[in-house]
Each structure stands twice: as structure tokens, then as C-alpha cells.
């Protein structure tokens, strides 16, 4: 979104659209896709 500021204290403002907010929420995966048995299957062969 914006460049980091390292050498001084400042307030960074950024304009966002509601479409960007919705897209960010769809990318958030708090549990992780590894917990979904329909996405990940682990087979161990002896």
C-alpha cells in the first residue's frame, strides 16, 4: 500500500475502497488450509 518510513515518526494515510476490504477478508485463512480435509490428504506408505 505505502512505503515504510524508517527515519522519523509519521502518520501514514491510505485510501481504500470497499472492494479491496472484501478481497482482503477472502484471502484471510485463520485456521489454515491444512486443517481442511478436502484440500490436504496425507498418505504414509510403510
**Whole-angstrom distance, CA of residue 36 vs CA of residue 1:** 31
**Whole-angstrom distance, CA of residue 1 vs CA of residue 4:** 9
pTM: 0.29
Beta carbons within 8 Å of 40's beta carbon, 6+ residues apart: 33, 34
Model pLDDT, residue 41: 73
Tens-place pLDDT, residues 2-45: 788 899 999 888 887 887 777 777 777 676 666 666 766 778 88
Model pLDDT, residue 37: 67
Retrieve residue 29's grid coordinates.
485463512
Amino acid at each position: 500500500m505505502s512505503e515504510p518510513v524508517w527515519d522519523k515518526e509519521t502518520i501514514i494515510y491510505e485510501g481504500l475502497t470497499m472492494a479491496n476490504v472484501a478481497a482482503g477478508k477472502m484471502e484471510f485463512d485463520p485456521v489454515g488450509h491444512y486443517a481442511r480435509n478436502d484440500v490436504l490428504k496425507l498418505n504414509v506408505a510403510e
